[in-house]
Amino acid sequence: MIASEAGELLAEFRWLSPAEADPAALSQECLAAVRSEMADVLIFLIRMADVLNVDLVEAVRSKSRINEERFPPPS
């Protein structure tokens, strides 16, 4: 389930301070674990899109247009 995989990704950062969570401060082991968890989330998302016949690229484009209308850049 994608929620559990996202939770595992967040768990990699749960007890880190903002300074410790800075990409430059993360150990190679932590970065490897984060990459692995990110891959798991993406695998589930791609599989869900496949099952539901969702074009993820078009979904992102559509959502971006909606967000641009809802949250226009400051003038």
The reply to whether 11 falls in a domain is: yes
The reply to whether 44 falls in a domain is: yes
The reply to whether 75 falls in a domain is: no
Identify the pLDDT of residue 41. Answer: 97
In a 3-state reduction of DSSP, which class is residue 5?
A: helix
Alpha carbon distance 35, 7 (integer Å): 14
The reply to whether 31 falls in a domain is: yes
The reply to whether 37 falls in a domain is: yes
Q: Domain count of the chain?
A: 1
9-65, pLDDT tens digit by residue? Answer: 999 999 999 999 999 999 999 999 999 999 999 999 999 999 999 999 999 999 999
- For residue 50, give the CATH number of its domain: 1.10.287.1080
